[in-house]
Amino acid sequence: MKPIRIGNGCGFWGDNLDAPILLARAGRLDVLTLEYLAELTMSILALQKERDPDAGFAADFLDVLERLTPILKEQPRLKIITNAGGMNPHSCARKARAILQGARLGYKRIGIVSGDDLLPRLDELLASGHAFTNLDTTAPLTTVRERVVSANAYLGAAPIVEALRQGADIVVTGRVADASLTVAPTAHAFNWRWDDWHRLAGATVAGHLIECGAQVTGGLWCHWQDAKDLANVGYPFVDMSDDGGFTISKPEGSGGAVNLETVSEQLLYEVGDPAAYLTPDVVADFTSVQLHHAGPDRVQVSPARGQPATGTFKASIAYRDGFQASGTLVILGPKAVAKAQASGAMLIERLRRIGIVPERHHIEVLGTGACVPGVLKDAPEPVEVVLRVSVQDGRRAVVERFTKELAPLVTSGPPGVTGYTTGRPPVREVFAYWPALVDKRVVTPSVEVLA
């Protein structure tokens, strides 16, 4: 059968707004995927929906869709699959339909996948014995239940496939697993069964490789200096075959690079056990994959091996965890590192003397390897550094007082302190992440296609 070409033009909410348009225009795609969601994103969207019932989705998608309308006219067979719906896929879909109608594309059908939002049922599920045990700490969710702001199951590819079967040209979802955005159109195109574990695993590998956009086409590459015209980096596409194998590449003439290194690096990105990569659709064995150079900026990826999916969905839960602020100052001149360390200690000591003790604080001297402590050895003494002090506390007043202690160091600390002209740092609410599992039997995905 003819391969299906799937390209991903967005790796996260805030990614390059031009990338989807450039990829759709030059990639000769069958399907364009747009991946917007991360764990923190869901809590932000939940708060937006709390303030405005029509909000709670990745609004960037609407801007992208409007710019894509001329391309959709030129390429009428192009389909779009996105998880931009976030916490409110129905509102996102309605606004997307209005854009299509305004562009005289009202005949395009929009599919909506929902059912991932567990928050309205959370107490019911807890009462029926679903503890949502924290996968890191083993604590039950009841310990933070009153502070929970969002709870979503990572759905798989099946409901997206159902939307495509019902004739959807654009599918807007809530929280689904990233790779499932690629698994779904592949499974639909080749009419795979849901126990075709090896094929599903191959499509999962493909989805994992392209889900972060330019990370597989030269972004974050260890030899990034060798990437041609990284400012014009091309976003990736895969040509999927019926057996689950594929080639990965990028549009001709775009910048970046696709080679064995860029693909290998992304293959192992955010992977726990490479022999058992867990998704809602399949357990994929990344160690069974072979990579082969297939030409300039083109890599052939062999079919993967897969095992049956587990009986649970991953649940992404966010809860309020106090307040936080971070402030910076530039420290320059002789003994800059020692002056920065002393300045940070002075700040915390001044808070302590007035009876303000933050629950957590962190002092970093940027420019000394503080972002990766212990990794960089024997670095030369810098002549200027950035002092960054952060605090977190459940009491907003404590954090607000901290923000008032940075500027005084300019005249009451060591010499060479500057960089204070941006004002006091803002106080932000903290949302903590609670990873858990939920039985698939209590989660019912919903599919609706707008006429």
- Percentages helix, strand, coil for the chain (3-state, rounded to 5) are 35, 25, 40
User: For residues 190 and 271, is the Cβ–Cβ distance under 8 A?
Assistant: no
Model confidence, pTM: 0.94
- What lies within 8 Å, CB to CB, of 411 at 6+ separation is none
The CATH number of domain 322-433 is 3.30.70.260: yes
Q: DSSP string covering 49-70, please?
A: HHH-TT--S-THHHHHHHHHHH
User: For residues 92 and 37, is the Cβ–Cβ distance under 8 A?
Assistant: no
Residue 169 CA to residue 173 CA, distance in Å, equals: 13
Q: Average pLDDT, stretch 72-97?
A: 98
Q: What is the pLDDT at residue 397?
A: 97
Residue 345 pLDDT class (50, 70, 90 cuts): very high
Instruction: Read off the pLDDT of residues 87-143 as tens digits, 9 standing for 90 and up.
Output: 999 999 999 999 999 999 999 999 999 999 999 999 999 999 999 999 999 999 999
Residue 248 CA to residue 261 CA, distance in Å, equals: 13
Residue 162 CA to residue 184 CA, distance in Å, equals: 9
Q: Where do the structural domains in the chain lie, given as residue ranges? A: 4-116+154-310, 322-433
